Chains A and B, each alone.
Chain A
Amino acid sequence: MFDFSYTIWIVLIPFFAFLLIGFLGHKFKPVVSGIVGSAGLFTSWILSIFTAYKYFFDVGKIDGVYQQIIGYHTLWLRFSDTLYIDMGVFIDPISVMMLIVVTTVSLMAHIYSTGYMKGEKGFMRFYASLSLFTFAMLGLVVATNIFQMYIFWELVGVSSYLLIGFYYERPSAVAASKKAFIVTRFADLGFLIGILLLSYYTGTFDFLTLTSPTGPAIGTPPTATFIGMSVMTWAMILIFMGGAGKSAMFPLHIWLPDAMEGPTPVSALIHAATMVVAGVYLVARMFPIYVTVPIALQVVAWVGAFSSLFAAVIACTQHDIKRVLAYSTMSQIGYMMCALGVSGMGGHEGLGYMASMFHLFTHAFFKALLFLCAGAIIHAVHSNYMYDMGGLRKFLPITHITFLIACLAIAGIPPFAGFYSKDEILVAAYHHDTALFAIEYIVAGLTAFYMFRLYFGIFWGKKQDYHHTPHDPPLSMTLPLIFLAFGAMFAGFVPFSALVTSDRLAFDIHTEWIIAIPSIVIAIVGIGVAYMMYLKPTQIPAKIARSMSGFYTASYNKFYIDQLYLFITKKIIFNNISRPIAWFDRHIVDGSMNGISYVTNQASDKIKGFQSGQLQQYAMVFVSGVIALALVFIYLWT
């Protein structure tokens, strides 16, 4: 058996890079931290590629089944013989695939940032946080048990918070980082309760035990029920709530668009390719259990489908290019969730599972590419807004080509990566539930439309008067763009059905043209509409906006979800719960404590004269006491 224990270093190297940059970075020039971070990650990347090669093509498969291997394992915290928490490296198809995704995108973001963040104040802090994030994300994907996953889950939350609030002098960035942290923390409350429920009833945290077909969760599930649903359903829905928070599913999505306040490489790495798919990964990791609780799986499917439609509609009306990309991310993650929700277990039944992981993989490439391109564009024109851009194709040729590739990939035009994965998702949805298929089909059209609205608006359209001629970014930034563009072009040819499947057995897929052709058609229709509306400045968009002004305004204002949250928190929760509790705290709790201290204070003030410092006075009292006691003993003690 091949020894996978070296894989722990994939996780630990970024951690050491974080320590090195965080504690010693200020002693060197800023560029050193960039080199240390990138070099560390490069090592991790090489190790991940090696692991993937070894696992998928050499030793991972026994009798056609990919094995679940514990590469490294240590007892971390021991409470009793039955309650203990392990740390380790779990190697199976999805974790190896995630290792590749995380290290690749992270490496690209690291290299890109050496150019993008050049000269920024806090360059070292940026790299330290980036390394911390990478460490946490890698720890999350290789978790051997749900508690380790939860720990790293929170760590990615913290590092995301640090990076969103990177420009901490800007109030909007501070607000955005707080919002992201609080919303995801709120979701993680559900996650934690879910973990506790699950582990209480099954007696284990371990994924291997939990997902084994004869294990305590699947073989002999607990029979307890609560309000008409089995306890397992509740646990899985609550765990999904944590995943929904991290993956920005409706209605916990409100933090993601605001998280775009962070530097663009961070948006590419954390809020597009890696952290936000942690929720999908979580559901995929627990998938064998989800299959046994159809209600929870149904929730996953519908939340995913609704989020994808909801976000796609909003994305069509936004002007901030990073926000459009943020909503597009939310929409694509909805796709992945929906695919998991419509999947079954094993063979062709598990098509949705495979498609979801496939889409996660391809999406990481083209979405990271889109964000990095957006960074290059913002770098060139110093604005986030579409109406400040136009006609940039002459100035930014490399960015233009790579952005176009990414747009074609996300729109699902063959042979780019997005087509293959999206097609599999549509097939899976079609065979499961026509309503879900219809939603996803519409979303496919909307995706093509809003991406090409962006593309035409930025690179074609009316030329703006730029303060200085925009130009392509330096090599350190274009190199990742080109690399990821290759990923976006060719990632679709990876034979996922032979590598990553629900039961870890290979199965045959074939393109179902009856679904593939309509999906290409609707993508082309979307592109065509965008072409007509945005290639040259026309009056059509304004006319359409006016003809459905109510809907347009609602979509432009993100359907007032933020306002709804503010109303619920500020008007209802603050006034009716927080204020009375604060009053109780100040007046009753603090009051009684203050009362006790006041009484003590006054009493001691009254009797402190007793301690006069006069030795003979003390002696007098002592002697009087002795005499009094003596009299008591002599005359009263009978």
Chain B
Amino acid sequence: MFEGVPLSWFLVLSTIMFFVGVYGFLVRKNLITMLMSIELILNSVCINFVAFNKILYPDHMEGMFFTIFIIAVAAAEASVAIAIIINIYRRIVNIDVEKMNEMKY
């Protein structure tokens, strides 16, 4: 399906996704958006895994396994994170990350 697409294209795509995710995590104040940014970072890693596996070692399957593993973990992590965020919202009726500075010196 992707015959002839060079590896570097995939890497460029995943790098862009990764830094978009990092930028979003650092800049956006909404906790849900930050969670989405984390998903972006994780998925960029998944793309890398799949691309390397498909192009460099076509007769191995480890990259695929890891990707599925990451997807599963990410799903679990997202559910926990959303649960935490809902609790925070119930408590302070806000999900702005800058308001959540109780744990300091």
Q: Which residues of A contact B (CB under 8 A)?
A: 608-609, 611-616, 619-620, 623
Contacts and interface: CB of A to CB of B under 8 A. Distances in A.
Given A613-B104, A614-B97, A615-B100, 20 more contacts: A608-B105, A609-B105, A611-B104, A611-B105, A612-B104, A612-B105, A613-B100, A613-B101, A613-B102, A613-B103, A614-B98, A614-B101, A615-B97, A616-B25, A616-B26, A616-B27, A616-B98, A619-B25, A623-B22, A623-B26
Contacts of B104: 611-613
Contacts of A619: 25-26
Nearest to B25: A619
Interface in B43-92: none
A614 B25 CA distance: 13
Nearest to A624: B26
Nearest to B100: A615
A612 B101 contact: yes
A611 B103 CA distance: 8
A611 B101 CA distance: 10
Contacts of A612: 101, 104-105
B53 to A, nearest CB: 24
Interface string B15-36: 0000000100111010000000
Interface of B: 22, 25-27, 29, 97-98, 100-105
28 contacts: A608-B105, A609-B105, A611-B104, A611-B105, A612-B101, A612-B104, A612-B105, A613-B100, A613-B101, A613-B102, A613-B103, A613-B104, A614-B97, A614-B98, A614-B101, A615-B97, A615-B100, A616-B25, A616-B26, A616-B27, A616-B29, A616-B97, A616-B98, A619-B25, A619-B26, A620-B26, A623-B22, A623-B26
The 5 A-B residue pairs whose C-beta atoms are closest, nearest first, are A613-B104, A613-B101, A608-B105, A611-B105, A613-B103
Nearest to B29: A616
Contacts, number: 28
Contacts of B103: 613
A612 B26 CA distance: 15
A634 to B, nearest CB: 14
B24 to A, nearest CB: 11
Nearest to B31: A615
A304 B86 CA distance: 90
A609 B104 CA distance: 9
Contacts of A613: 100-104
A310 to B, nearest CB: 71
Contacts of A614: 97-98, 101
Contacts of B29: 616
Nearest to B103: A613
Looking at chain A's contact residues, the main secondary structure is helix
Contacts of A615: 97, 100
Contacts of A611: 104-105
B93 to A, nearest CB: 19
A611 B104 CA distance: 6
B94 to A, nearest CB: 14
Nearest to B104: A613
A620 B29 CA distance: 13
Contacts of B100: 613, 615
A205 B103 CA distance: 62
B70 to A, nearest CB: 19
Contacts of B22: 623
B85 to A, nearest CB: 13
A169 B13 CA distance: 90
A40 B47 CA distance: 89
Contacts of A620: 26
A616 B97 CA distance: 8
B21 to A, nearest CB: 11
A97 B102 CA distance: 78
A342 to B, nearest CB: 80
A394 to B, nearest CB: 87
A620 B100 CA distance: 16
A628 to B, nearest CB: 14
A609 B102 CA distance: 13
A619 B28 CA distance: 12
* Most B CB within 10 A of own CB, among A608, A611, A616: A616
A80 B82 CA distance: 63
A619 B102 CA distance: 17
Contacts of B98: 614, 616
A205 B78 CA distance: 73
Contacts of B27: 616
Nearest to A604: B105
A493 B103 CA distance: 89
A614 B96 CA distance: 11
A611 B25 CA distance: 19
A150 B22 CA distance: 75
Contacts of B101: 612-614
A570 B69 CA distance: 81
A314 to B, nearest CB: 71
A620 B25 CA distance: 9
Nearest to B98: A614
A36 B105 CA distance: 62
A301 to B, nearest CB: 75
B43 to A, nearest CB: 18
A612 B104 CA distance: 5
Contacts of A608: 105
A612 B27 CA distance: 17
Contacts of B25: 616, 619
A208 B50 CA distance: 86
Nearest to B105: A608
B60 to A, nearest CB: 27
A620 to B, nearest CB: 6
A620 B22 CA distance: 9
A615 B104 CA distance: 10
A612 B101 CA distance: 7
Contacts of B97: 614-616
A614 B101 CA distance: 6
A627 to B, nearest CB: 10
A608 to B, nearest CB: 4
A609 B105 CA distance: 7
Nearest to A608: B105
Most chain A beta-carbon contacts within 10 A, residue among B26, B101, B102: B26
B42 to A, nearest CB: 16
B103 to A, nearest CB: 5
B46 to A, nearest CB: 20
Nearest to B28: A616
A121 to B, nearest CB: 56
A613 B100 CA distance: 7
Nearest to A616: B26
A133 B22 CA distance: 79
